[in-house]
Structure 1
Amino acid sequence: MPHIKKASRNMTPTKNNRTYGLFHTICKIAFLGCGTNFWFEDMDCPAKLIKIYNAIDPVLELIVILFIMSHFGAFWTQPNLTEKQSTDRMLLTCVNGLSYSVYVNILYYKREMRELVRELVAFAVRLKEVCNDGNIEKMMHRTAFRYMIALFLVVSSAVISYGFQSGIPALTTNATFTVMIPIWPDVEDRRIIAAAARIVHYIVWLIFMVRVLVLYMLIITSTITIAHQFKHLCKYFEDLNDIFEGSGSQEEKERKYENAFKVGVKMHSITLWCTRQIQLTGGMAFSGQVIINVCTLGLLMLQTMSTERTLAAMMPIIFMAMAILIGTGLFLWNAGDVTIEATLLPAAIFHSGWHNCTRQSSVRVRKLVTISIAQAQKPVLIKGLGFIELSYESYVAIVKSSYSLFSVIY
């Protein structure tokens, strides 16, 4: 076992740590995407670029707000729509409105999110000093990378497919480029200024989705990291048994074991704090995604019933359904992983080697182990809407409820 140092909530991260690099990259992407700095140190960006972003971001934010308001205003200004256009209006208003609510909520907890990022990075640095398991860290990075790529591909595919669905008829026929229904112009307005307004509206949608997507990436990566923190903790406690197989007197081994065990208890406390923090900062994201999943899949199934069965017509529906299913899955699967990994910790603590202690050391350690196991046995849950325990089972139940809602409505 390496030399054990006292764990602290004020640990200083190092730039050589891979987790440091992962979160630094994601926070930089988040800054470039939505103009908000979630990093706890200097962003390491050119000062001129930061100044430009700080000046542009309020303007973009105002444009996005007007974009969202335009969706709701269309219910009053656009009464003469086809059945598909009406369903599209309801669908995109629901998705964009709820997504913007999630976006605003995460920005509201910007300070708490920054504290969480700092703690996750610092925990990885400290844990690597006392339990250097590179395989778990590599697994975490591979998982985060795969999930981020999947999220980006399905969301971008959905947005681009909507553009193609409206763009191709607009280029080949006399149809208008109507990706979504704004408050203005009218869907049948064929003036040049109306066409330009629709293109601007679509570009603003792309900007809005980038702003939401980068914050989703930050929440999902944080959840993945917390799940792997519990996995690391299990490995750490299991490795404590190796202390008694090393050289030295029994008294030295017992003292070293007690100190190491206390470090593990402290790291467990920090991990529980991180879990509570992700519930606070990302709670609206978890809840919003559940609502988006139920409402959007119901509307997509309803839209499928009235849509022509052609590739061009079905492609946006398929990609939107994939984006919703995978997006919801990424939130719920990772939240479920946190719960699963946390349930393995009591067994790891029990097999940490406490039975090798003798005399007074045995008395002290048994009390400490009993309290630690009791604490670790408390369920670690991340909830959506305040009562839905997010897991693989709840994901299946939520997807089924979308079909149930569609059956009732249709």
Structure 2
Amino acid sequence: MQSLKSLIGIPKTATKEIYTFETNAKISLFYNICAIVFFGFDTNFLFDDLKLPRKIVEICRIISNVFGLLILLYVCSVVAAFVTQHNLDMTRKAQMWLYGPSSLTLYAMYWNIVLRKNQIKKLTYTLVVVLRGMFTDDELEKEMIKKTWRFSYAFAFLLNGLFVSTGIVAGYVASTTNDTFTTMVPAWPDLNDHSLAASIARIAHYCVCYIFLMRIGCIYFVIAAIAIALQFQYGILCNYFHSLNSIFDEEGSHEEKEQKYEDAFVFGIKMHSLTLWCIDQTQVTCGVAFSAQFIANLMTLVAIMVKFMYMERTFGNYLTVFMFAGLVLSSAGIFMWNAGDVTFEATKLHTAMFHSGWHNCRRQASVRVRKMLTIAVRQAQDRVTIKGFGILELSYESYISVVKLAYSVFSVLA
């Protein structure tokens, strides 16, 4: 069947005039998110300048370069711990697995997103400028903005709560027992080293870990905003096609209404084609992030369950484990729930097209519209999915499957 893109002449890439736009609510949302991300690691994912003072930009760049080096050393340290740290109990081994492989995986995800920032700029421009300029729904747009901030606030709360609770628990244990302040297992120092240099190194690891988590959190903000925007874009498309029925209630001759409906339906197909392009670009730009998130979640959940089984039953340990589990499950949800919502909303589009009012057309107009409708509905019926590893569909079902798989792996290892 002939592709809709070739049928109506939609280009395969977004417009190159990425700096031509008027401010709107979606742009303000992405501007604020990208500003937060920029302060996090000096990378601008917005299609326009952030309009920050030059001095601030220079300072952020210097700080970001220093933080980038520290994060690289941190990742190397938690991975090298598998070689340098020996004679660990099961709790410490679980802690080592909790931070080592997952940190390396998330670090790879981080760099993949940074290297694809220009593609992300084109993607967000198409979403918040081009498609919004074609048609929008103010109520859905407000709901999209609220949902984006709700996810961001919840994730930020869990991330900071985990950092604070881990530090408090480790500090309390170090001050009341003979244990050292250990929040993760580094390559150096040894866990039984009580020297001043070792204590400073552990505190440094703890602080750099927070910087690393903040950068990963910034990546999550960007991906979540894109996924949520795609979800509501399908809702906007459905509302657009439902609204076409009202054309035949307007004044004028029936032939004029038919022509207006036909032009409006073609315009809706163009919006759908651009939306599909956005889906493809999301898969290209964020596919590695989706795959890396799956691996990191699986390993982290298994490590959390192992640690829970062997740890001392205290309030502090319970708090840390539950905060960590909540963070992991919510981070997985940011990707899988919203990707699943995109799939769900996309299933409504072909019905909206069918109820757009084509039956009001007559004679030759009816023939033309029915042919166009058949192609459009057929393409809208194709399942829209966002996948990890190119095969794992991200959805509510796959979210439950990841949790079940982690428990299965834990059961085998235990």
Both structures adopt the same fold (TM-score exceeding 0.5): yes
Task: Find 1:137's aligned residue among 126, 141, 165.
Answer: 141
- Tell me the residue number matched to 1:256: 260
- Tell me the residue number matched to 1:71: 78
- Tell me the residue number matched to 2:97: 90
Deviation at 1:239, TM superposition (A): 0.3
8 A contact 1:157–1:319 mirrored in 2: yes
> What do the CA deviations read for 1:128-152 (whole angstroms, capped 9, x no partner)?
xx4x422111111111111111111
Q: How does 1:19-98 map onto structure 2 within 5 Å?
A: 19-98=26-105
Q: How does 1:11-410 map onto structure 2 within 5 Å?
A: 12-15=20-23, 17-127=24-134, 130=135, 132-410=136-414
How many residue pairs match? The answer is: 401
Q: Does the residue aligned with 1:183 lie in a helix, a strand or coil?
A: coil
8 A contact 1:163–1:179 mirrored in 2: yes
8 A contact 1:13–1:125 mirrored in 2: no
8 A contact 2:291–2:389 mirrored in 1: yes
8 A contact 2:238–2:349 mirrored in 1: yes
Q: Which amino acid in 2 is paired with 1:287?
A: S
For structure 2, which runs of at least 5 residues remain unmatched after alignment? 1-8
- Tell me the residue number matched to 1:3: none
> What do the CA deviations read for 1:281-326 (whole angstroms, capped 9, x no partner)?
1112211221222221112111111111111122211111111111
Q: Quick one: percent identity of the two aligned structures?
A: 43
8 A contact 1:28–1:43 mirrored in 2: yes
Q: Which amino acid in 1 is paired with 2:301?
A: L
Cα distance in 1 for partners of 2:189, 2:311 equals 24
Deviation at 1:217, TM superposition (A): 0.7
For structure 1, which runs of at least 5 residues remain unmatched after alignment? 1-5
Q: Does the residue aligned with 2:183 lie in a helix, a strand or coil?
A: coil
Moved more, 49-58 or 303-312: 49-58
8 A contact 1:71–1:89 mirrored in 2: yes
Deviation at 1:394, TM superposition (A): 1.2
8 A contact 2:79–2:101 mirrored in 1: no
8 A contact 2:342–2:385 mirrored in 1: yes
8 A contact 1:99–1:288 mirrored in 2: yes
What TM-score, normalized by structure 2, do the two folds share?
0.93
Q: Which amino acid in 2 is paired with 1:155?
A: L
Cα distance in 1 for partners of 2:362, 2:21 equals 37
Cα distance in 1 for partners of 2:400, 2:296 equals 15
Q: Which amino acid in 2 is paired with 1:13?
A: F
> What do the CA deviations read for 1:352-380 (whole angstroms, capped 9, x no partner)?
11111122221211111111111111111
Cα distance in 1 for partners of 2:273, 2:338 equals 20
> Where do 4+ consecutive residues of structure 1 move more than 4 Å?
6-9
What TM-score, normalized by structure 1, do the two folds share?
0.94
> What do the CA deviations read for 1:146-198 (whole angstroms, capped 9, x no partner)?
11111111222222222122111223344321111111122122222221111
Q: Which amino acid in 1 is paired with 2:239?
A: K
Q: Does the residue aligned with 2:109 lie in a helix, a strand or coil?
A: helix
Cα distance in 2 for partners of 1:55, 1:153 equals 27
8 A contact 1:29–1:214 mirrored in 2: yes
Q: Which amino acid in 1 is paired with 2:280?
A: R
8 A contact 2:34–2:46 mirrored in 1: yes
Moved more, 190-199 or 337-346: 190-199
Deviation at 1:23, TM superposition (A): 0.4
Cα distance in 1 for partners of 2:60, 2:21 equals 27
Q: Does the residue aligned with 1:76 lie in a helix, a strand or coil?
A: helix
